[in-house]
Amino acid sequence: MQGLTQAELANLIGISRTALSHIERGKSQPSRSTQESLERALNPFLNLIRFRCGEGAVGGAEILQKISAKRGLTYALTLDVPTWLLTRYQTPAAAWAYVLRLQQWVDALTELGVSKAPEAERADLILLRGTTEIMDESTVVQGLRIASVRRVMEDCAELSGRHALDAARLFLAYPRERPSRFRLDPAAVVKVWEDVLWT
Amino acid sequence: MDVNAVVRGISDALGDSLLFIGGVAVEAYVSYRRTHDIDVVVRERDMHVLKSLMRSTGFLHSRTAHLRKDVFKHRERGEVDAYTDRVGDVEMDERFFERAKRRDFAGSSVLVPCLEDLILLKISAGRELDLTDVAVLVFELRGEIDFAAVERRLGADAVRRSMSSLPDHLPMEYGWVSRNKFKRWVSERWP
């Protein structure tokens, strides 16, 4: 459940723990609004925490690595930075990372002087609520811990815009890692194909 | 692959005879994401200078006739796509050069289309990634853009259509509050 306990999730969507338990075990059907709240609570991209570290995407990722080494907190990068590390195709804009124990990460970053990004300003370090499964599948590339290629590819495809280029580039480099639910943007595929065919 | 060095080399050699469009132009206005390929517009009469420069630095030249562009490729230095009279559906005339601006790109001064022309080119290209770039440009620099000029070139209805979809293309790094704020601004500007 995206690193949430049953009580935390029930609290987030505003229903009792018993009601959530009934939904999980198929004993009752959630109402439309509960269903929407549930989907929202479980989608990491709808519950992100944005920071402005001013060190750029890779600098932000290195800050996470330092905190992880010092405090034993776990993280796994997704989207821009892993794609950059694996393909060098598109410059990264932000360090996106799945983390466990989200509040401890927020506290650690705050202690280091990394503050949350003001509203209406672009963030360069973004935390997402992760799961132990994401952490177990993660690997280290060039000193930074990244989520599995399959997960990164799936996340890139989930978000549109320039992330679609990352999805297409990763697919070209790692076709066997293609996730089961995966839709590539044809225009992104054409651009990536033209760009990397020679190199 | 040093994209900055290639941009600097081309800009030094061709000066005001060449316009950087695409990712280099977007980054000259707003720092966001870009790929390593470089798109330029060069006057037909100056194309031979670009060809000589690229060949002398080891780029291989080919012509993509259906896209009306010259392509220069190098295994380490990347790719430069050069257009003369047309970029996609947009006819490139002398006025693009007259309206162009000098901006800083990674420490080099480069000639890029004015904001309105850049938005026009990006909207005309119309891919997801182009609309993302337009969303970033409009969100960050909306106070500096002459939208009436864009409407005169592209048509008021086409601009309204593009703008209404734009907030959904604003990258997630900006957060949901920015997206909602952007939506409100667009609906007030193009009711």
For the segment A21-59, what is each residue's pLDDT rounded down to a tens digit?
888 888 888 888 888 778 777 788 888 999 999 999 999
Q: Which of B170, B169, B165, B164 is nearest to B190 (CA)?
A: B164
Q: Which residues, at least 6 apart from A100, have a Cβ–Cβ distance to it below 8 Å?
A: A3, A73, A74, A130, A131, A132, A135
| A88/A17 same-domain check | no
Query: What is the number of CB-based contacts under 8 A between chain A and chain B?
Result: 84
| B178/B132 same-domain check | yes
For the segment B3-20, what is each residue's pLDDT rounded down to a tens digit?
889 999 999 999 999 999
| B130/B103 same-domain check | no
Domain CATH code at residue A100? 3.30.460
| A37/A109 same-domain check | no
pLDDT(A92) > 90: yes
For the segment B73-106, what is each residue's pLDDT rounded down to a tens digit?
988 888 999 999 999 889 999 999 999 999 999 8
C-alpha neighbours within 13 Å on the C-beta side of residue B133? 27
Question: Domain total for chain A?
Answer: 2
| A33/A68 same-domain check | no
Verdict on whether the full-model pTM lies above 0.90: no
Token reading at A91: 């410059």
pLDDT(B60) > 70: yes
How many angstroms separate the CA atoms of A78 and A62, rounded? 14
Minimal CA separation from A89 to chain B, in Å: 6
A69 band by pLDDT with thresholds 50, 70 and 90 = very high
Specify the amino acid at residue A198: W
| A34/A91 same-domain check | no
Which residue, of B50, B80, B113, is where some domain finishes? B113
DSSP for B72-141, please give it. Answer: EEETTTEEEEEESSEETTEE--HHHHHH-EEEEETTEEEEE--HHHHHHHHHHH--HHHHHHHHHHHHHH
Q: Is A190 in contact with B130 (CB distance < 8 Å)?
A: no
To probe the interface with A, which of B71, B79, B129 has the most A CB atoms within 10 Å?
Answer: B129
| A15/A109 same-domain check | no
A3 band by pLDDT with thresholds 50, 70 and 90 = low
pLDDT(A15) > 80: yes
Within a domain: residue A177? yes
Which residue, of B84, B113, B142, is where some domain finishes? B113
pLDDT(A2) > 70: no
Q: Which of A66, A4, A67 is nearest to A38 (CA)?
A: A4
B179 band by pLDDT with thresholds 50, 70 and 90 = very high
To probe the interface with B, which of A91, A96, A127 has the most B CB atoms within 10 Å?
Answer: A91
| B48/B123 same-domain check | no
How many angstroms separate the CA atoms of A128 and A105, rounded? 11
The answer to whether the Cβ–Cβ distance between A119 and B178 falls below 8 Å is yes
The answer to whether the Cβ–Cβ distance between B129 and A187 falls below 8 Å is yes
Cβ-based contacts of B127 with chain A (< 8 Å): 187-188, 191
| A24/A70 same-domain check | no
DSSP-assigned letter for residue A181: S
Chain A interface residues (partner B, CB cutoff 8 A): 45-46, 48, 50, 80, 88-94, 117, 119-124, 126, 159-162, 164-165, 185, 187-188, 191, 195, 198-199
Question: Domain total for chain B?
Answer: 2
B1 band by pLDDT with thresholds 50, 70 and 90 = low
| B190/B140 same-domain check | yes
The answer to whether the Cβ–Cβ distance between A50 and B175 falls below 8 Å is yes
| B72/B121 same-domain check | no
pLDDT(A1) > 90: no
The answer to whether the Cβ–Cβ distance between B173 and A165 falls below 8 Å is no
| A115/A137 same-domain check | yes
| A80/A160 same-domain check | yes
| A74/A33 same-domain check | no
Residue B66 near chain A (CB below 8 Å):
no
The parent domain of residue B159 ranges over 114-191
Within a domain: residue A70? yes
Residues in chain B: 191
B149 band by pLDDT with thresholds 50, 70 and 90 = very high
Element (H, E) at B185: helix B175-189
Parallel/antiparallel/unpaired status of strands A49-52 and A139-141: unpaired
The answer to whether the Cβ–Cβ distance between B132 and A45 falls below 8 Å is no
Q: Is B41 in contact with B18 (CB distance < 8 Å)?
A: yes
Cβ-based contacts of B171 with chain A (< 8 Å): 93, 122, 161-162
Instruction: Calculate the alpha carbon distances from B115 to B101, B120, B129, B174, B187 in Å.
Output: 9, 9, 17, 21, 21
| B133/B159 same-domain check | yes
Chain A's closest residue to B179, CA to CA, is A120
| B143/B157 same-domain check | yes
Residue B44 near chain A (CB below 8 Å):
no
The answer to whether the Cβ–Cβ distance between A188 and B79 falls below 8 Å is no
| B7/B22 same-domain check | yes
The parent domain of residue A31 ranges over 6-42
Within a domain: residue A132? yes
Higher-pLDDT residue of A197, B127: B127
| A167/A103 same-domain check | yes
DSSP H helix total and E strand total for chain B? 9, 9
Q: Which of A178, A89, A96 is nearest to B129 (CA)?
A: A89
Within a domain: residue A1? no
pLDDT at A9: 79
Domain CATH code at residue B70? 3.30.460.40
Which residue, of B113, B134, B149, is where some domain finishes? B113
pLDDT(B153) > 70: yes
| B82/B171 same-domain check | no
A194 band by pLDDT with thresholds 50, 70 and 90 = confident
Phi-psi label, residue A95: left if phi above 0, alpha if psi -120 to 50, beta otherwise: beta
| B98/B118 same-domain check | no
pLDDT at B65: 82
pLDDT at B48: 95
Query: What ipTM did this prediction achieve?
Result: 0.86
Q: Is A185 in contact with A168 (CB distance < 8 Å)?
A: yes
Residue carrying structure tokens 């959530």: A20
For the segment A128-154, what is each residue's pLDDT rounded down to a tens digit?
999 999 999 999 999 999 999 999 999
| A135/A90 same-domain check | yes
Residue B73 near chain A (CB below 8 Å):
yes
Within a domain: residue A131? yes
| B125/B108 same-domain check | no
| A11/A79 same-domain check | no
